[in-house]
Structure 1
Amino acid sequence: MYLADRSTPQTPTSAPDRLRGTVRAVSPTVLALGTVSLVTDVSSEMVSAVLPLYLVMGLGLSPLGFGMLDGVQNGVSALVQLTGGHLADRVRNHKLIAGIGYGLSALVKPLLLVHHLGALGVSLALDRTGKGLRTAPRDALISLSVPPERQGRAFGLHRAMDTTGALLGPIAAFLILGVAAGGYDAVFAVSGCVAAFGVLVLLLFVPSGTSGAAGGPAVASAPSGKNPQLPAPQLPAPRRPGPEERADLRAAFALLRGRRLRALFGCAVLLGLTTVSDAFLYLLVQRRTGVAEQLFPLLPLGTAAVFLLLALPAGRLADRIGRRTAFLAGHAGLLLAYALLLWAPATPALPYLVLALHGAFYAATDGVLPAAVAAVVPERLRASGIALVGTGQALARFCCSLAFGAAWAAWGDGPALASAAAGLACCAAVAGVALRPTGDPR
């Protein structure tokens, strides 16, 4: 299976039936991890919603300085993500490594209460370290708990639950800023408490193990096209890998010898180099449309709302029409958002249009990419393969944050965004060619 692969078409059903069918089709592991991500995202998005304004307006950080800080966050997460994936495959316990990542992010939240740029930078770097550790093991647990033909919808369901937290986080930050005397400090304190609760949910409800067999039945229905009343086939008992099958860094990097994974990796890097970070995009929306400062924390809400609505349908659609089509369509939507910020008149509808396209971009790409990677790497290196592509993409976005911040400081926000849009158009064209389906099975 590849970005262009399609699963067997299914008979159309009503929306409630499709939702119930999707929930039945994924394992309890997916639902539990989705709950953990929901709670954790409430915590992290509370901070992310106010951080750009706090740094630029409150601490007087320049766009270049903010770009460097934002880039460092992405860079740390990228470097650690590969370590997290490798460790999860090495110790054969994805939940353990994911739990360490979630726990670290919760532990460093109190550092946000120190009103010093250095302490803030350390806190954000350690938080990104935790995110990097947990991402690949979590996605590996999802992919190993469902069959390949349903992985798009499984990731879509997880991302929908994750985005519910991203939706609630900015609302919580907005309400706290409106009623709490401490302002930003109150947001940071509540965020730490919520993050700790997310770790507790992980420990209590996410089953240990590395496959669907470990966390209960992988699916509750038979594969597409067969009698849904028939029991799912039993998975073979896991065996201890031999010396030649052990998950080490050499084996992980050897995955890039495969043409399909190499193409996915290269396209993720290319497109990441021209993807402006969320924080910069929200600052551009605020400057372009004159959104009031007190309403700034609500901007991520628009992205999260559309992501929530479209994540599951986009995952199902990618399983049916092909992941390449969905992936490229998402980047086309992002390119249109850039074009609107550059050339559309500053009407009241502009922020809504840009945020809607931004959310659609994430819905069509965020779960589709790991689902595509999971389909071309073996189970014993599943977390490592997902981490490789995720690391390349995150490092590329780190470079983009640095370059965009420097371009904004040197040329202004308009020329900087125009350069990013031109680069995105070129990279998307290259990705469209590189991800074409071929008869090569490698």
Structure 2
Amino acid sequence: MYVASVRPSERVRGRVPGTVFALGAVSLLTDVSAEMVTAFMPVYLLFTLHMGYAQFGVLDGLYTGATAVLRLVGGAVSDRTHRHKAVAAVGYGLSTVTKFIFPVVGASAFGIGATMAADRAGKGLRTAPRDALISLATPPDRLGAAFGVHRTMDTVGALLGPLVTFVLLYEIGIVAGPVFVVSACFAVVGLIVLVAFVRENPRPVLTGPRPSVKAGLALLRQAGYRRVTIASAVLGLATLSDAFVFILVQKATDAPLHLLPLLPLGTALVFLVAATPIGRLADRVGRWPVFLGGHVLLLAVYVLFLAPGTGYVGVGSALLLHGLFYAATDGVLSARVSALVPESLRASGLSVVQTGQALARLVSSVAFGFLLQFAAFGTAVYAAIASLLVAVLVAWRLNALADTAATE
């Protein structure tokens, strides 16, 4: 197993490096932009364009994972060129451009789908290089804390995005153009901050194999890395997208429809408060147990969908658990993977795991959309509960095998 190395003379001792805070500011602004669109899409597609759940599931799956393979490209290119910031900037730039295209495509399902795919292509390119910048700037014993701080700042944007969308919809009604234009403005500012304020060490990293897509995939030969990759993909297959979670919360609790764009605020607020302390907890007690525990919390969210008449109490409980799920999984998985791969393949190693997750969630969104379209609400929820329970047991078993192998 590779252990992430660190050069003490180049790292800041005792605290999270400035690179993490700079990237956190970029993610904050970009997430305002992205979450404005995420909050608006269910209302726009389902209740304005009157798409069915099956069609929405296909578009949501496309938004989540159709361009997942670009994560491999982004990771390999940034590792090979030692230009993680430049590759991340291309990804952020592509997503920014799509915000100007959304108003042009109007109500065309094909146009919306293609633009959503391009937006996610940008995310696919930037995610692994960005996480590599964080992990390469941070000592291994503080990776959980660093990713927790970054995700906390990211989540401030996730809080503000739906709020901005709600205010716009309240003032002007369900009109797509202004939402996308304001979203684009936030994305442009985030890109400027990345270019102007994020620094990276230009010297090539010498530890580990020569970077390439093939070398990144070759990491799967390592038992520990392979188990993490498989387990995270299996869990991804049973993880409903945020859009479906919020739709189900609204349907299960009979919350007013106009509150749907605000539901992401609850998840984001909990994530904001919990991401950093849970990241530090993961550094102390183990990242994989915390990651797996987060999916147990998500299982509790699914169970709440079956509790009738819970009203706002049910909404609050579901969003609390959903926020804790993200705090225990999002940055924690990146911290776990970063400790398993050499510096020269840091972005590539992260991208392989992220690609597996994204493709799995693509399948999940499409499958659940068809299930919700053609089966009863309760049947769809029971299927989600059963699949996640099986996935948690499989992931737990894979980790138990890894522990057994380590002691032999």
Same fold, judged at TM 0.5 (above)? yes
Distance in 2, Cα, partners of 1:77 & 1:26: 32
User: 1:85 maps to which residue?
Assistant: 75
User: 1:37 maps to which residue?
Assistant: 27
Distance in 1, Cα, partners of 2:206 & 2:146: 27
Does residue 49 of the first structure (1) align with residue 5 of the second (2)?
no
Contact 2:27 2:157 (8 Å CA) reproduced: yes
Distance in 1, Cα, partners of 2:17 & 2:140: 13
Distance in 2, Cα, partners of 1:250 & 1:188: 38
Measured after TM superposition, the shift of residue 240 of structure 1 is 6.0
Contact 1:111 1:119 (8 Å CA) reproduced: no
Which amino acid in 2 is paired with 1:358? H
Measured after TM superposition, the shift of residue 345 of structure 1 is 3.7
Measured after TM superposition, the shift of residue 208 of structure 1 is 3.1
Distance in 2, Cα, partners of 1:142 & 1:85: 14
Does residue 128 of the first structure (1) align with residue 92 of the second (2)?
no
Distance in 2, Cα, partners of 1:117 & 1:155: 36
Task: Please point out which of 189, 196, 215 is paired with 1:204.
Answer: 196
Distance in 2, Cα, partners of 1:108 & 1:58: 21
Task: Please point out which of 412, 425, 430 is paired with 2:376.
Answer: 412
SS in 1 for 2:333: helix
Task: Please point out which of 52, 67, 75 is paired with 2:57.
Answer: 67
Which amino acid in 1 is paired with 2:40? V
Which amino acid in 2 is paired with 1:266? I
Q: How many residues get paired? A: 396
Task: Please point out which of 168, 179, 197 is paired with 1:187.
Answer: 179
Deviations 1:423-442 (A, max 9, x none): 11111112112113346399
Distance in 1, Cα, partners of 2:170 & 2:204: 53
SS in 2 for 1:370: helix
Does residue 99 of the first structure (1) align with residue 89 of the second (2)?
yes
Distance in 2, Cα, partners of 1:312 & 1:339: 27
Deviations 1:376-414 (A, max 9, x none): 100000000000000001100100011101111121232
Measured after TM superposition, the shift of residue 287 of structure 1 is 1.1
Distance in 1, Cα, partners of 2:304 & 2:35: 25
Which amino acid in 2 is paired with 1:155? F
- TM-score, with structure 2 as normaliser: 0.93
Contact 2:82 2:205 (8 Å CA) reproduced: no
User: 2:300 maps to which residue?
Assistant: 336
Q: Judging changes above 3 Å, is the alpha-carbon distance between structure 1 residues 376 and 239 closer, same or farther for their aligned structure 2 residues? A: closer
Distance in 2, Cα, partners of 1:348 & 1:109: 33
CA radius of gyration, larger in: 1
Q: Which shows bigger deviation, 258-267 or 177-186? A: 177-186
User: 2:103 maps to which residue?
Assistant: 113
Distance in 1, Cα, partners of 2:186 & 2:295: 33
Distance in 1, Cα, partners of 2:13 & 2:310: 41
Measured after TM superposition, the shift of residue 181 of structure 1 is 6.2
Q: Judging changes above 3 Å, is the alpha-carbon distance between structure 1 residues 109 and 438 closer, same or farther for their aligned structure 2 residues? A: same
Q: Judging changes above 3 Å, is the alpha-carbon distance between structure 1 residues 239 and 308 closer, same or farther for their aligned structure 2 residues? A: closer
User: 1:149 maps to which residue?
Assistant: 141
Measured after TM superposition, the shift of residue 23 of structure 1 is 10
Does residue 423 of the first structure (1) align with residue 387 of the second (2)?
yes
Distance in 2, Cα, partners of 1:347 & 1:414: 17
Distance in 2, Cα, partners of 1:389 & 1:182: 37
Q: Which shows bigger deviation, 66-75 or 357-366? A: 66-75
SS in 2 for 1:343: coil
Distance in 1, Cα, partners of 2:151 & 2:251: 29
Contact 1:110 1:189 (8 Å CA) reproduced: yes
Distance in 2, Cα, partners of 1:420 & 1:29: 39
Measured after TM superposition, the shift of residue 98 of structure 1 is 0.2
SS in 2 for 1:25: coil
Please, which runs of 5 or more residues in structure 1 have no aligned partner?
3-21, 215-236
Alignment of 1:311-326 (within 5 A): 311-326=275-290
- TM-score, with structure 1 as normaliser: 0.86
Contact 1:81 1:390 (8 Å CA) reproduced: yes
Distance in 1, Cα, partners of 2:389 & 2:13: 36
Structure having the larger proportion of residues in helix: 2
Does residue 168 of the first structure (1) align with residue 160 of the second (2)?
yes
SS in 1 for 2:306: helix
Query: Which aligned segments of 4 or more residues in structure 1 are displaced greater than 6 angstroms?
Result: none
Measured after TM superposition, the shift of residue 143 of structure 1 is 0.6
Q: Judging changes above 3 Å, is the alpha-carbon distance between structure 1 residues 399 and 317 closer, same or farther for their aligned structure 2 residues? A: same
Deviations 1:170-191 (A, max 9, x none): 1111111112367332111100
Does residue 386 of the first structure (1) align with residue 378 of the second (2)?
no
Distance in 1, Cα, partners of 2:130 & 2:234: 25
User: 2:334 maps to which residue?
Assistant: 370
Contact 1:177 1:184 (8 Å CA) reproduced: no
Does residue 293 of the first structure (1) align with residue 285 of the second (2)?
no
User: 1:18 maps to which residue?
Assistant: none
User: 1:224 maps to which residue?
Assistant: none
SS in 1 for 2:199: coil
Distance in 2, Cα, partners of 1:245 & 1:316: 30
Contact 1:252 1:385 (8 Å CA) reproduced: yes
User: 1:249 maps to which residue?
Assistant: 213
Measured after TM superposition, the shift of residue 344 of structure 1 is 4.8
SS in 1 for 2:310: coil
Task: Please point out which of 303, 310, 325 is paired with 1:361.
Answer: 325
Which amino acid in 2 is paired with 1:137? P
Which amino acid in 1 is paired with 2:181? A
SS in 2 for 1:89: helix
Please, which runs of 5 or more residues in structure 2 have no aligned partner?
3-11
User: 1:259 maps to which residue?
Assistant: 223
Contact 2:93 2:122 (8 Å CA) reproduced: yes
Distance in 2, Cα, partners of 1:372 & 1:240: 22
Distance in 1, Cα, partners of 2:58 & 2:398: 31
Measured after TM superposition, the shift of residue 264 of structure 1 is 0.3
Distance in 2, Cα, partners of 1:355 & 1:23: 36
Does residue 395 of the first structure (1) align with residue 395 of the second (2)?
no
Measured after TM superposition, the shift of residue 133 of structure 1 is 0.2
Q: Judging changes above 3 Å, is the alpha-carbon distance between structure 1 residues 44 and 238 closer, same or farther for their aligned structure 2 residues? A: closer
Measured after TM superposition, the shift of residue 155 of structure 1 is 0.3
Contact 1:270 1:396 (8 Å CA) reproduced: yes
